[in-house]
Structure 1
Amino acid sequence: MSGSKNRRKRGSALLLVLFAIILLSGLITATVQFVRIDVDEYAALNKDFRARQLAESGLAFGTNPKVENSDKALLEQRAPDGGQFRVIISSESTKLNINTVLDTNRDDLLENLFGTWGVEQKVAQTAVDGLHDYLDKQAPAQPAAANLQAGAANLQTNPQTQPFGPQFRSVAEMSLVPEFAPVMKAQPDWMDYFTTWGDGKIDVNLANAGIITLVTGVSQATADNFVKYRWGPDGKPETPDDRVYTSMDEVRAALGMSPDQFQLVENLLTLNSEIDRIESTGMIAGYEKRIVVVTSRNAVPITYLSWQEN
């Protein structure tokens, strides 16, 4: 009888031990899982921080006015830890300044551009009218003479601002215009063609053939040859032998335009970029951080007009 009781006690004790082991195993597993998640999150944060650090390093090279896209050794670097950055320097002066175009009533430029995207002429005209109407609705009351003088002074120091009439504060704001919706549908990358920075002139030493054709009215073939000349003898862009146009007379001759023809478009062109766009991407172990800034690389001290991260 007593032996049976002892066996039952030992059996109960064994069950308690097994239960304790199972409970302890569960706690250990949960703890390990918690620690693993915490470690993974820390590692992700650390890699994200490192990717941003690399992007900022690339940005330091990209904002140097003496550095060009052909300087691959500077703009594409790899760190000992496997991280790397890649920098692309471009210009806001290769895009249409939507505020300048609307203010100077060069609606034809917009309509022609939309036409190349497959937008019907009537729809394109409606979209342009919608852009004008949107700004008209934002117009404040007529400013006093003193305010007009202050606005004119501001324009001298900041080409983006304009003392007469409202402006789009960003390219993204154009999407708020209902009539512009068909254009956005026709060209999903439409934002890449516009800017709100700078004086509205197109840099002939950086603009692609499409924008050269649009602004000057020359044929696509002429614009292609105009751009290829910049590539230099090797026929490749962004290499050390690239050439630049140094005078408007040289530009006019390369475009095959008469003095009278060129006079109509010369005020839309420039030999130098006023506002730069630098895109720097930092990468490490599958993590990427991209920083895009708009600035004037020749300004001292350098000032960032726009800073975006993603």
Structure 2
Amino acid sequence: MVLTFDCNLNQLFVYLAAVSCAERGLRSHLLLRGEQPDVLTGYNLVSTMYGNVQYVPRSRYANREEMLRTYADLVAGEDGTVLWAKDIVEGRDTMNVAKMDDFSSMKTSRRKVLIVNEGAGDALALLGMFRLVQHLSQDHLLGKKRPVKFVVDAGTGTTAVGLGVAAMSLGLPWEINAVMLADTLKNYKRHEDHLIAEFSRQFPGSVFCSGLDMNQMIKWIDRQHPRKFGKVLEGEVEMCRKIAQETGVLVDPMYTLAAWETATELVQDEKSSIVVMLHTGGTLGMFGLAQRYKTCFTNLKD
């Protein structure tokens, strides 16, 4: 079996996916947006030891699903079969039963290709957020009765929606503050509606009710210093360093710094709720940022 992954700046996901495939005897193809660094470092380097890493030009990457499908078809060949990860869940639907049967009954010599989309930005990802919320709502952690204001940086927005859906399903007095990094409010809301509809279709027997009003649970808010996604502003790398030295928490200027800034602002005004910043990762993306923004890292001062 060949698995095709589409991963952006989340190098940890790339690495874990590649290692997981290798441990199970599966061949992974890892598609990354942008240009290959002059010198591979960190998880970018290690991932090449486990999987087949391909860097995709940004112009091609813009049409993500077409790019993924084209590459997967190439890997599968003429007699192979390609499935998206969500097809496995939706295999019980009559439209997908034939594809699933064909996928599972193929001879060993034929290639099976499974596509895992970027950031798991579909309804399947919400299952992981249910597990996280169930864990955090245990009595010895956040509990189920105390009001909590979560802050999370939103790339695709899937993590924020997952937190909101899970918290509302469990009846928790939580509020999700999602800092928009890469799109407009209109498009984030559209993605939210799509995820909820897809989740309700894929898991009709779940406790989640699609009729619940998510507007009271998720607040989409602007970044303190808006900019085109992927751009680092002057002084932000130094700010990340300052936060790390003073708190031991490592944030990055692309993603988690935005959540940190919003969380520190909320905590100054909040009296009845506790504020929790969900650290989504992304810090290892600084390996790549150090090559793109060399002066920001070479000019760090004590």
Whether TM exceeds 0.5 here: the answer is: no
Larger radius of gyration: 1
- Work out which structure has the larger RCO, using CA pairs closer than 8 Å and 6 or more positions apart in sequence: 1
What TM bracket, shorter-length normalisation? under 0.3
TM-score when normalising by structure 1: 0.25
TM-score when normalising by structure 2: 0.25
